Each structure stands twice: as C-alpha cells, then as structure tokens.
Amino acid sequence: MNQSYLELGADESKPIKAWIKDVPVDQKALEQLHNTAKLEVVFPHLAVMPDVHWGMGATIGSVIPTKNAIIPAAVGVDIGCGMMAVQTSLKASDLPESLAEIRSNIEKAIPHGKTFKGRDKGAWHSLEEPQIKTWESLRPSFLKLSAKHPKIADRVNHINHLGTLGTGNHFIEICLDEEQFVWFMLHSGSRGVGNRIGRYFIELAKKEMGRHIKNLPDVNLAYFSEGNPSFTDYTEAVSWAQEYARLNRELMMQSIIKVFKQSHRIPSFNLLNKAINCHHNYVSYESHFNQKLWITRKGAVSAEKEQLGIIPGSMGDCSFIVKGKGNLDSFKSCSHGAGRILSRTEAKKCFSLKDHIAATSDVECRKDLDVIDETPRAYKPIKKVMQAQHDLVEIVHTLKQVICVKG
C-alpha cells in the first residue's frame, strides 16, 4: 500500500508523519517540528498537515499528541479558533447584481477589525439580548477561573467581543457551491479573552518549569503535567475559551442570517443543512493507539470517519466542505486551510495593490493596502493542499466566495 505521508523524524526524536507531498514547506517550520518531536511527553508521533507553516510557539498545521501533559503554546492564544458554515435555499440568481450593499450591511451588523481604546471598531458599544444571554451562560465559569487567576480578567473585552469577528485571517464569506446554492461561512475564535487566557498560561508554564525549561529544545514548548494544579486550571480555562469561540461563531452566523432576512432585495429562504461549527486551534482528550492522549490540533481539524468539516482557501480561492475518513496515522485530523506560504511582512513586500485587485477580481471585498497581507498569493494553492490529504478527507462541496468581509 502506498503511504501518502512522508516520514520526517530524526533518530533523537519521535517520528513525524507529514502529508506534504507537492506542497511547499519552509525550513523554519521543519526545524520547529523537529524540536516538538524531541519532547518526552509527545507520543507516539507528530502528524503534519499540508498547510503546515511556522507559528508562534508551535507549528501551524500540526497535530501534537501528548501523554499526561499539555503544551499551552501549542494550543496558542487564539483558543478555539475555527470555522462555521451553513447552506441556504438561496441560489446565485437570488442575489442582486451588485453585492456591495450586502457586504456593507454585514460590516455594519458585525463589529470587525482592531479594538482601540476609545474608538472600538471591533467590539460592541451597546449590547443586545443575544450577547447578554450568551454571556450569562459563560459568566459563572469565567468568574470561577478569574477568582483563581485574576490576571485572566485584566483588560479584556469578554462580553463586548461576543459575536464579533476580529482581525488578521478571520473573515465572513458568502459563497456559492457547485449547484449554485448560497452558503454563509465565517472564521473566528475566542477573541480578546481567549488571547488573554492563552498568554497567561503560556507564561505560567514557563515559570513553573523553572530550571527544567533549559532542557527543552524551545522554551515555548513548556508544558503542564497531569497532577499539577495548573494543569487542571488550564484544562478548565481552555475548555471555557473553546466554548466561548463556538458561541461567538454562532452569534455572528445569526447576525448574517438576519442581514439577509431583512434585505428587501433578497427573497425568503431556509437553511438546508445542520450548521457545521468546528475548531481548528484546540486541545481534546481522545483515545488513539490504545492510549488516552491529549490531542492538540494547532491549525488542524478533527476528521473522524463521516464527520463534516470546513477547509477554507484564501480570500480569492475556493473552499471545501469535507467528510473525514478517520485516518488513524493523522489522529483522525486534516488541514485547517491552505496555509501561508509568505509571512504577513513578506506578502506586503512582494505584492502591490494592483496584484491584490487582480487576484480578487471576482470577489466583492476590501481592495486596499491594509489587506495585502491576506492577498490570495500569500497562501499555498488550496487544490494542491487538498490533493496531499486525499486519504484524510473526502470533498463534499466546493465553495467559491462572492463576498468576503475581512477585519
């Protein structure tokens, strides 16, 4: 049987199984993977997805199984970041010829962009019932966590960020599938409060490892071991942040649906399928290879057999609704997107506004210098990424965006 992954492991490390055939991988990411594979808590091997690229703390596009331990920096600071998508009964012919008004209405309905003190563009100024009700369900656990670790609650917009998009590669898209049905799709995570929780526990892990941190190949790979009170606190905090992220996406999806329902230019419609809402930056306690392991998916999606997931391309390329094949070697995982081929800084140097306009010519989206770092050619070709993981997922729908909202 032809194995579709490559073996990257060195003698002094755990094996690395990488689904990277015919896709570019930068040297910095490879070095980072080898460092992670040297950890004694990693078991039995690392799995690497085709969208792999260097990331802060740990490699994006990697699945890191650990025994009796968790690495906070592997989970990262955008805890619970992920995707949500829903298919509607609308067809392409139901959309107006000009999509500018719809994009504008979405941007008005959902706060997005950076949050600045005194001029918050990315947070709610006045809260509505959905945000208040959702926060009330999250609040008791947050108060319990912050009572133990007060710094978690320091300078965070927890309730004001619920139902908001954020910045960077987070987006809202209106897409068409192969039968011209309209889909609503979005990408976001746990916003400021998740970032605060992530940074706090990353530093706490480094501090608690003390002199032992010198034995790590990278200080960012500091971990909590089971039995440590901070391990329990972190698992509770990360679980809470993952739930916050899931609910954040649900609130935004409600807002998108409301925008379309209220438009006099859009006919009435229904939702055709159960919404897909999946994390791709998270940790989960799972059984693999007859062991109970902590599985950290850092830029990877759960792909259990028959499980639906979302793999987005860049803002000018297609995206995919997929069904998992339950591949055991990948810890039943797949990629979380196309993956960057250029850093944000490199993309701004390499591409002009003219390049970006040409690459997004068929998409109603921002076409200004502030989004050059997200221009399509900063990412790997999504079709090559999908080919490299053909034994991890099956494509169910191919989506092409017609509207893209970026923070």
Q: Which residues share a beta bridge with 87?
A: 183
Q: What length is written for the chain?
A: 407
Place of tokens 């608690």: 208
- Active site residue ranges: 336
Q: 125 and 116 in contact (C-beta within 8 Å)?
A: no
Q: Which residues share a beta bridge with 83?
A: 187, 278
Distances (CA, A) of 302 to 63, 82, 210: 10, 11, 34
Smallest Cα–Cα separation from 403: which of 356, 363, 359, 361?
A: 363
Q: 218 and 210 in contact (C-beta within 8 Å)?
A: no
Measure the CA–CA gap between 325 and 47, rounded to whole angstroms. 15
Tokens of 119: 């001029």
- What letter does residue 152 receive in the DSSP assignment? G
Measure the CA–CA gap between 37 and 32, rounded to whole angstroms. 9
Count Cβ atoms within 10 A of the Cβ of residue 384 and give its class: 0-12 exposed, 13-18 middle, 19 or more buried: middle
Count Cβ atoms within 10 A of the Cβ of residue 45 and give its class: 0-12 exposed, 13-18 middle, 19 or more buried: buried
Q: 44 and 65 in contact (C-beta within 8 Å)?
A: yes
- Strands annotated E in 55-194: 60-66, 69-70, 82-91, 171-176, 181-188
Please provide the DSSP assignment of 295-330 as one string: EEEESEEE--TT-EEEE---TTSEEEEEEE---TTT
